[in-house]
Amino acid sequence: MSLLLYDFTGKVALITGSSSGIGAATAQLFAKSGANVVVTGRNSDGVSKVAKQCTDVSPKQLKPLQVVGDITIEDDCQRLIDTTVQTFGKIDILVNNAGTGRVASIADSDYMEKFAFIMQTNLNSVVYLTHKCLPYLAKTRGNVINISSVASKQALISGSPYCISKAALDMFTKCMAAELGPKHHIRVNAIIPGVVLTDIAVHSLNISREQSDQMYTAIGSKYPIGRPGQPEDIATAVAYLASDKAAGFLTGTCLLADGGHIAANI
C-alpha cells in the first residue's frame, strides 16, 4: 500500500500499543516520515521487531526508543513518559492506540472484573497519559490522537464494556480539545476505525488469527469500500491528524476511518 508521507522531521511521536497492528503501522509511518518514534507494548519481541522495521524505513536510520511495559500500570506509564523525555528531550505527538476487548454479558459472574480491565486499558490509561504528558505537549504545542472504534457509535451484544469505553474516549477527546486548545495550543482528535485486520479479536474472542481475518473479511465485504481495513489505512489517518500543516484547523474531531461502516449501518 502506497502511503502518503508528511514531514515529521525533528518530531517525537509516542505510540502506545505499537508492538503490532495499527500501532506498529503508525510507528513505521512516522519513522518513514522522519520522526523519532517510541515503540512500546507488553511483548518485548514485538517491540524489538517493530523498532527494527522503523529503523529500516527511517530516512536517516533513526533508532526508535523501545519501552516494554503495561499501560494499565501507572508506574509503567510514568516510566514510559520519563524515558521518552530523557531520550529525546520532548514529546510532540501522543497516539493513544493501545486497546482491548472482551466478551462480557451483564449476567456474567465476572462482568465487573472484565468491565474494570477494559476501562483501565481503553480509557483510564488514555486519561493518565494525557494528564502526565500535558507539560511536554504544551511546550511543543503538540497534539494527541486517540484510537476509538465504531463500537462507540453502535451497541454490541455482550460488548457493553468495550462500547462504553470507546464512547467515553470520544467524549474525552472533545473535552480535551476544548480545554487544551485555548491555553496550551494542543490539538486533540480521535479516529474511529471500522473492522481492521489486526490481532484484537484474537485476544478478545479467543480465536485464531485465521478465524479473525475470515470474520473481519466477511464484515468488510459489506462495506461500501468493499473490504476490511488494513493497519496502514488507520496509520495514514493518524499521520494526517498529527500534521499541523495538513490538519492544523482540526481539533475535537472524531474522524471516521471505517470503510463506510457507519454510513451503511453495517
The CATH number of the domain holding residue 249 is 3.40.50.720
What percent of the chain has pLDDT above 90? Answer: 92
Residue 1 pLDDT grade (very low, low, confident, very high; cuts 50, 70, 90): low
Q: Does 42 fall in a domain?
A: yes
Q: Does 184 fall in a domain?
A: yes
Over residues 1-10, the mean pLDDT reads 82
Number of domains in the chain: 1
Q: Does 5 fall in a domain?
A: no
Which of 136, 162, 223, 240 is labelled catalytic?
162
What percent of the chain has pLDDT above 70? Answer: 98
Active site residue 136: no
pLDDT at 174 over 90: yes
Q: Does 265 fall in a domain?
A: no
Q: Does 207 fall in a domain?
A: no
Whole-number pLDDT of residue 207: 85
Return the closest-CA partner of residue 23 out of 116, 89, 135, 100: 100
Q: Does 214 fall in a domain?
A: no
Whole-number pLDDT of residue 205: 80
Whole-number pLDDT of residue 119: 98
> Strands 93-96 and 254-257: what pairing?
unpaired
Count of C-beta atoms within a 10 Å radius of residue 62: 15
Q: Does 203 fall in a domain?
A: no
Q: Does 262 fall in a domain?
A: no
What's the residue count for the chain?
266
Count of C-beta atoms within a 10 Å radius of residue 240: 18
Q: How far is CA 102 from CA 19, 64, 192, 201, 214, in A?
A: 20, 31, 19, 9, 19
Over residues 195-219, the mean pLDDT reads 88
Q: Residue 181's domain spans which residues?
A: 12-198+231-257
Residues 184-202 have pLDDT tens digits of: 999 999 999 999 998 888 8
Query: Mean pLDDT across the chain, nearest whole number?
Result: 96
Return the closest-CA partner of residue 176 out of 143, 140, 139, 151: 143
